[in-house]
Amino acid sequence: MEKVSKTWSGAWQIAAVYVGTVVGAGFATGKEIVEFFTQYGTFGTMGVIVSGGLFTWGGMRMMVMARALRSSSYKQLNDYLFGKSASIVITIVMTMMVIGVTAVMLSGAGALFEEQLGLSKRVGMFVTLFLLFAVMLYDRKGLFTVNVLVVPLMLLFSFVLLGKIAIAEKWCVISSVPNHSWRALFSPFSYAAFNLAMAQTVLVPLATEAADERTVKRGALIGGVILTLILLSSHFVLLSFPYVLHYDIPMAEIVHTSFVSLHWLYLLIIYGEIFTSLIGGVFGLRRQFHFVSSSLFFVVVVVLLYAVSSFRYSALLSFLYPLFGYISLLFLFLLALRKIPQS
């Protein structure tokens, strides 16, 4: 009985990290969900379900494969999927993307302090870096603790918003645009592929360090289901807003317009989603550069993240995101194609 309890406990921790790593600033603001799903109306709803299925299947397959390979970092999984020669380039690009996305999360945290609390952006970034350092001192335990606390809040907030919309009957139907129907079919695959490729930085070492394969499979299953539920509820909430396509931060506009009492909770959720993505990225980088001393690693990471997040990042992202998008789709294809080695 105790062993079963530990298996489910470990599975929930993995699931929480999975969810916390995938969701981020774009997810919390609703912009990603609108771009990939909500703007397509009914097709978008089907896309959410497809994407959720890919998260469940892909997360489970990726972690079981990593465990069988005894991969301590995403480089070793990439060696198996892409081949050692191509893996060098793939891993370099992926490392740049992890640093880039993590820096964007840090910048987003600073912007939240500046825009919503009236404090300096630098104050917000320094506070976030301090919290990051404090959490990462506890390594895996710190990663688990933050995600186990934040993820239930995300789920609760999503259901509260959806419940309020349902009670108020503020439903609105956004018709999908015929000329974009091919994008609606493509979106769930590109969205899941990108996020799975990003999540492997933290899920690969966690899978290898997990107690057993059953824990890993259950963690992927729970994580995939929670991601699907949060995606679906957020999608339906965004569908209730008739001008959702006109806003850069549609979820904030919905909360500000219809649910003012939830404003502070929403800010907490946004910060939590940003922070879980931030620590997931740093944890994955730490496992990748395990040969570097902890003190040197944290100094380099803090300086690098602060420097990158302080400047305009749009030019770099405009080049890297499309490139990483193609690599991510290839990653998803190879994940399905390659056999799981016998452990």
Q: In this structure, how many other beta carbons lie within 10 angstroms of the beta carbon of residue 110?
A: 25
Candidates 154, 161, 170, 167; CA nearest to 255 is: 161
Domains present along the chain, CATH in parentheses: 36-337 (1.10.4160.10)
- 105-134 pLDDT tens trace: 888 788 778 877 788 888 888 899 999 989
Helix residue spans in 37-180 (DSSP H): 42-69, 74-82, 84-117, 121-136, 139-168
Q: Any residues with CB less than 8 A from the CB of 230 and at least 6 apart, and which?
A: 19, 23, 154, 155, 158
pLDDT of 314 over the 60 cut: no
pLDDT at 23 over 60: yes
Q: What is the 3-state secondary structure (H, E, C) of 73-109?
A: CHHHHHHHHHCHHHHHHHHHHHHHHHHHHHHHHHHHH
Give CA 71 to chain center in angstroms.
21
**Total-model pTM:** 0.84
- The model's pLDDT over 259-309, given as tens digits with 9 standing for 90+, comes to 777 778 878 888 888 888 888 888 888 888 887 888 888 888 888 887 777
